[in-house]
Amino acid sequence: MALILNSKKNTLIAHISGDFDLVKANQYREQIDRNLAETMSQNLLLDLAKTTFIDSSGLGVIMGRYRKVKANHGQMIIYGVSPRIRKIFELSGILSLMPVCSSEEAAWKILEENTRKEA
């Protein structure tokens, strides 16, 4: 169970494996925020392919980071969502806030297209 962070092209990529609940929410929120600041990344990609469980505490972190990234004129995209997690996303309204796609490749494509549109 871990959070792995790396950054490239103005973008922080957060890979979350294991359960994403109350305890992890507090840790991951702090780590993601610190890394967004340190790497001066504007965009955030969230990889949930290895996330085994999420509840409203994990969703709170996602929504909070979304607001933060948006306030900084960046984009947030989620990828690798299992059907189980997608159901939670549907109920929470996250799907109408930000793109949710299948792979990292698809996420980069969306990011680049949106960046081009804005330019």
Partner 1 sequence: MDKIVNNRIKLEFPSKGENVALARITIAALVSQQELTLNDLEEIKVAVSEAVSNAVIHGYRHQSDGLVTVIGILQGEKLIIEIIDEGVGIPDIEKAMEPAFSTDPERTGLGFVFMQSFMDEVKVESKVNKGTKVTLVKVLSNENKNIAVS
Query: Which tokens in the block code for residue 45?
Result: 């990609």
Closer of 24 and 108 to partner 1 (Cβ): 24
Q: Establish if 114 lies at the interface with partner 1 (CB under 8 A).
A: no
Q: Which residues within the stretch 48-87 sit at the binding site for partner 1 (CB under 8 A)? A: 53, 55-57, 59-61, 63-64, 84
**Residues contacting 17, CB < 8 A, separation 6+:** 1, 2, 3, 4, 50, 51, 52
Q: Establish if 91 lies at the interface with partner 1 (CB under 8 A).
A: yes
Q: How far apart are CA 23 and CA 104, in angstroms?
A: 26
Q: Establish if 22 lies at the interface with partner 1 (CB under 8 A).
A: yes
Q: How far apart are CA 5 and CA 20, in angstroms?
A: 15
Closer of 78 and 111 to partner 1 (Cβ): 78
Q: How far apart are CA 53 and CA 40, in angstroms?
A: 29
Q: Which residues bind partner 1 (CB under 8 A)?
A: 19, 21-23, 26, 29, 53, 55-57, 59-61, 63-64, 84, 88, 91-92
